[in-house]
Structure 1
Amino acid sequence: MKTINTNIAYKEEGTGEVLLLIHGFCGSSGYWGKVIPMLSEKYRVIAIDLPGHGESKALDSVKDIEQYALVLKDFLEELGIEKVTMFGHSLGGYITLGFAEKYNQYLRGFSLIHSTGFPDSEEAKKGRIASADKIEKAGIDIFIDGLVPKLFAPENVESHKQSMEEVKKIGYEVQPQGAKNALLAMKNRKDRTEILEKTELPVLLIAGESDQLIPADKTFTASGENIKQVVIEGAGHMSMYEAPEELGNAILTYLNHG
């Protein structure tokens, strides 16, 4: 892992055009471990740890999607990177859309992976508050133990036990304040479906066939010649573990053909 002055830890492999991979809630750059080798054969792949996740410190100032997007902008500027194609998983997708709204000039294109432009429903907002309370009272480990099985397709829970344990281990390392900050950011995020509808950049939308958290109709909210929609069969919310080869091939096809 590397770190820079913005306190963001990251992994980097390969050379060429830059791909920036942004993990989901209570994840880390480790989420992309099975996909990076495929992508780094032709691209410079950078996978970051969001504030309070992985080896990145929690930042008190980062409590909304716009602030996460600013962290990414500062990160790219510090590395001297002028253009990226950005791939955001779940929470990372919300941040990707926030980045596209504010800092479009840095993007060659972007992708939402098991994510959506929609804001939280009122019920989901209550769930965020309950999750923050659970972390506060019971600790991050118990919260992660309850969360991780929901991330995988029901039919994969038994066959992907090793992957689930790896995802739990990553989750246990998340700083409680970092998790609570992310919950607040997700709860308060605005509707950004218009960003998808109006962008002229090449976009890749990826949904899991059996995603229990964000079904395909919540991901595929826009269509057009510049927007490619892909369903990963047999995957839930974690195709990077459940179907890494299919995910990697979808990303490479998008990059090769726009």
Structure 2
Amino acid sequence: MKKAVLQNGVELAYDDRGTGDAVCLVHGFCGSSAYWKKLFPRLEKSSRVLAPDLRGHGGSSVPDETYTVEKMAEDLAFFMDETGIEKMTLLGHSLGGYVALAFAERYPDRLSAMGLIHSTAFPDDEQAKENRTKGMESIRQNGIEPFIKALVPKLFAPGALSRYPEEWERVKQVGLQTPPDGAIRTLEAMRERADRQHVLRKLACPVLLIAGEQDQIIPADKTFTADGANVTRVLLAEAGHMGMLETPEKMADAIKQFLSNI
């Protein structure tokens, strides 16, 4: 892993592989760049693939301030400056998709293309906001471990433990390594994020939308909310919320095909 110290003082850990046009993969909540391990060898032969750990996650720093998805998007813009990237394809998983949409709203000229992977442009509804608040309180009172152990089964398709035991364990271990303060501040950022359906629908660049047919977190109809000549939709039949680990070959093929058409 490399480290980049950004203009705002945030330090991001990141993976940087391959050469060619830049593709930035941004992980989901309580995840890290390790989520993309199975996609790296499938994408790095034809692209420069970067995968940063968001603030408060993985090997990145945990700034002592209120987090927002807008601040995380600004982190990515500074990250591009530090790594010499003018434009990139930005693909965000779950939380990473919320950050990608905020980035697209503020820095559209720096995007070659954008994609949501098991993510949505919708904001949290009232029940989801209440659940975020409960999650914050749970971590404050009980630490990160009970929260992660309750979260991981929801991330995979039903019955996935028997099919993907190593990936299940990998996701659990990545989650357990998330700094509690980072998780709490990120829950608040997700709870307070804006509705960005208008951003997704008005993007002029190519857009990739990938959903899992068995996703227990974000159903496909919450991902497939834009259409048009610039929009590519992909439904992964056997995947839950973790298609990059459950069906990596199919996801990599979809991304490579999308990139080849840009």
Fold similarity call, TM over 0.5: yes
| Aligned counterparts, 1:10-89, within 5 A | 10-61=14-65, 63-89=67-93
Q: Show CA shifts across 1:136-176 (max 9, x none).
A: 11111111111001000003232112111100100111001
Aligned residues: 258
Counterpart of 1:166 in structure 2 is 170
Counterpart of 1:219 in structure 2 is 223
Partner Cα separation in structure 2 for residue 94 and residue 5 of structure 1: 23
- Normalized against structure 1, the TM-score is what? 0.98
Partner Cα separation in structure 2 for residue 169 and residue 195 of structure 1: 34
| Aligned counterparts, 1:181-192, within 5 A | 181-192=185-196
SS in 2 for 1:200: coil
Selected match of 1:102 from 106, 110, 128: 106
Is 1:127 aligned to residue 94 of structure 2?
no
Is the Cα–Cα contact under 8 Å of residues 15 and 44 in structure 1 kept in the other structure?
Answer: yes
Q: Show CA shifts across 1:59-89 (max 9, x none).
A: 1235111111111111111222101000100
Counterpart of 1:207 in structure 2 is 211
Counterpart of 1:2 in structure 2 is 2
Is the Cα–Cα contact under 8 Å of residues 61 and 67 in structure 1 kept in the other structure?
Answer: no
Partner Cα separation in structure 1 for residue 110 and residue 62 of structure 2: 25
Residue 155 of structure 1 aligns to which amino acid in structure 2? G
Selected match of 1:114 from 111, 118, 139: 118
SS in 1 for 2:211: strand
Q: Show CA shifts across 1:8-35 (max 9, x none).
A: 0000110010000100000000000000
SS in 2 for 1:129: helix
* Deviation, structure 1 residue 105: 1.1
Partner Cα separation in structure 2 for residue 197 and residue 23 of structure 1: 23
SS in 2 for 1:52: coil
Gaps of 5+ in 1: none
Partner Cα separation in structure 1 for residue 135 and residue 233 of structure 2: 31
What's the RMSD between the two structures over aligned residues?
0.8
Partner Cα separation in structure 2 for residue 4 and residue 149 of structure 1: 33
Partner Cα separation in structure 2 for residue 255 and residue 72 of structure 1: 20
Q: Show CA shifts across 1:39-72 (max 9, x none).
A: 0000000000011111001112351111111111
Is the Cα–Cα contact under 8 Å of residues 62 and 68 in structure 1 kept in the other structure?
Answer: no
Stretches of 4+ aligned residues off by more than 3 angstroms:
none
Is the Cα–Cα contact under 8 Å of residues 205 and 228 in structure 1 kept in the other structure?
Answer: yes
Gaps of 5+ in 2: none
SS in 1 for 2:208: strand
Counterpart of 1:198 in structure 2 is 202
- Normalized against structure 2, the TM-score is what? 0.97
* Deviation, structure 1 residue 202: 0.1
